[in-house]
Amino acid sequence: MSVEPGAGSIAAEKKARKPFLTRSKKKALDNKPQSLGEQVKEILLIIFYALLIAFVLKSFVVRGFFIPSGSMENTLEVNDRVFVNRAGAMFGQAERGDIIVFEDKKEWIPDTGASQGAIRNALAFIGVLPDASENYLVKRVIGVGGDRVQCCSADGKVTVNGVAIDETYVKEGVNPSDVPFDVIVPENSYFVMGDNRSNSADSRYHIESNTAFINDSDVVGEVFVVAWPLSSFTLMNGDSEVFEPVSAGS
């Protein structure tokens, strides 16, 4: 009996083919219960990616902070949770009126030795929890590089480049400053003050020690929202209009 050329190889190929799976059969296989090990692996992967996303957001987009003191009242209250714009600090500079969070590299705050705890520090570092450490301060930018900032004018106001500022954000009943000063802000630096001037150890109190000016590189970001408590939810605009009459410094 004759055999057509190639018939044997075709038969072998058909025999080697996997059985065709219908959509219903595939679905049944996909719904096969996972083992305990597979479930644990999946949960760990979800946690890992969630932490990675939180870290990226904290490093390059937004970062959360607790407000620990009353130096920015009534704009920011104690225990408010705020978020800062990281991208703005990385690719631009702060402007007069902006509320910024900056790292305390000038050591304005004495070291108390207090610790949040290892777990909380780790979660704050990743970005899961707002940072409540004492290594950061929040103040308002009053002067930028080249500005001459003085206090006080004849009517008791702070002046920037000779223009008296009507600081509507200063806590009611508090003077713009009880401390006289006259400074010129270095380039790429900021002169900052708290809105609660009677309870804010800001740039005014560090002039003699040559640590009054905050370097642009130390700025974490600009506060753009008070997120918690919900009753205090506020989008911040920086109050830049207060400084509109001010011309550029030297």
- d(CA 183, CA 100) in angstroms, rounded, equals 20
What are the residue numbers of the active site?
71, 139
219-247 burial: b if 16+ Cβ within 10 Å, else e = bbbbbbbbbbeeeeeeebebbeebbeebe
Give the list of residues 6+ apart from residue 233 with CB closer than 8 angstroms, or none: 225, 226, 227
Give the list of residues 6+ apart from residue 149 with CB closer than 8 angstroms, or none: 142, 143, 158, 159, 160, 181, 182, 183, 184, 185, 191
User: In the beta sheet, which residues pair with residue 139?
Assistant: 100
- What one-character-per-residue DSSP string does 36-57 give? HHHHHHHHHHHHHHHHHHHHHH
Kindly state the tokens that stand for 188: 């790429």
Sign of the dihedral defined by the CA atoms of residues 137, 142, 148, 153, in that order:
negative
Instruction: Report CA-CA distances (Å) from 122 to 68, 131, 176.
Output: 19, 10, 39
- d(CA 63, CA 53) in angstroms, rounded, equals 12
The 8-class DSSP code of residue 129 comes to S
